[in-house]
Amino acid sequence: MKHTSGFAKHARPRRWLLWLGKLTVGVLLSHLAHASERVTFEATLGHSADKVSLRAELSRPEGDGPFPAVVLMHGCGGWQPPVRYTMNRYAEHLVSKGFVVLNLDSFGPRNQGGGKVCESFDRLADARDYRTYDAHDALRYLQAQPFVDRRSVFLMGQSNGGSVAIKVAKGDGPHGQVSTLDGFRGVVAFYPWCGAFERRSVQLKTPLLVFGGGQDDWVPASECEGVRSTGANLQLVVYPEAAHSFDLDIVPQRYLGKLVGRNPQAADDSRDRMLAFFVALSRRPDSDDTRVAQK
């Protein structure tokens, strides 16, 4: 996904203006609905420099906690307006349900925003690697906060961030993950590239919930079908009528030749399933984390 001018080139002007007006109002309302704090912490892998300070927006419920927490990771376009709007809505919803939320920006600090990563297979591959470390950096940041339940930190990623989520669930990263006692409690991947599994049989370290679109011609959901985990639970939910980026508030259109755009039914159902997944795992005993079933 790209910055707004990139979307505009592929959308009808009138529909674009209607969407932009809706987005502006929505962002303002979202910021009024919940307060967030800008935070920074050092990246383990700078990639573009020896040292990179990642930036994030931290939102939290009222009270001392400790609360369960969720890290949100954007797709290949970074923090462009449609993604910020959607992530703000996720943050508002999760905070209202008692979760701390850390919305992480991997690309801005590395000067990789504006769709640069979307247009290059090499940059996409590099991003999957260094962003897997970013996810663990965000985890450690949250676990150091006194208001966070360090054993109940979750990860959600969209598109390229969803592929990162798959890698994290496999145990990839600076320290791997041998249990949910010191790593992510559960992981959710929205329309990821399922080549990140690398094989059809995987031994996941962390429970993983994957959402795909049946009309996704960028990273087809069919590539996820047939993957099985011999470790932690893996579930795939495919929405037959949904395309890529089905949870973003953008009109259906072509971007880089691929179909993208919101599907309201998929967006609402996936949000509810994600919340149920997080709640179920945060309430289960530590010894019974790996085999959580989704209904």
> Other CB atoms closer than 10 Å to residue 186's CB: what's the count?
29
Does the pLDDT at position 222 exceed 70? yes
Tens of pLDDT, residues 41-52: 999 988 777 789
> Which structural domains are found in the chain, ordered by start?
4-284 (3.40.50.1820)
More confident residue, 240 or 174: 240
pTM comes to: 0.85
Helix, strand, coil proportions of the chain in percent (round to 5)?
40, 20, 40
Torsion sign over Cα 213, 218, 220, 223 = negative
What is the pLDDT averaged over residues 5-22? 39
Counted residue by residue, the chain has a size of 295
Torsion sign over Cα 271, 274, 280, 285 = negative
- Do 83 and 115 contact (CB within 8 A), yes or no? no
pLDDT band at 289 (very low <50, low <70, confident <90, very high): low
Alpha-carbon distances, residue 123 vs 126, 140, 154 (angstroms): 5, 25, 26
Question: Coil, strand or helix: which one is 94?
Answer: helix
What integer pLDDT is reported at residue 113 of this predicted model? Answer: 87
What integer pLDDT is reported at residue 153 of this predicted model? Answer: 98
Question: Coil, strand or helix: which one is 112?
Answer: coil
What is the pLDDT averaged over residues 184-203? 96
Would strands 36-42 and 53-59 be described as parallel, antiparallel, or unpaired?
antiparallel
Give the Cα separation of 210 and 194 in Å (integer): 9
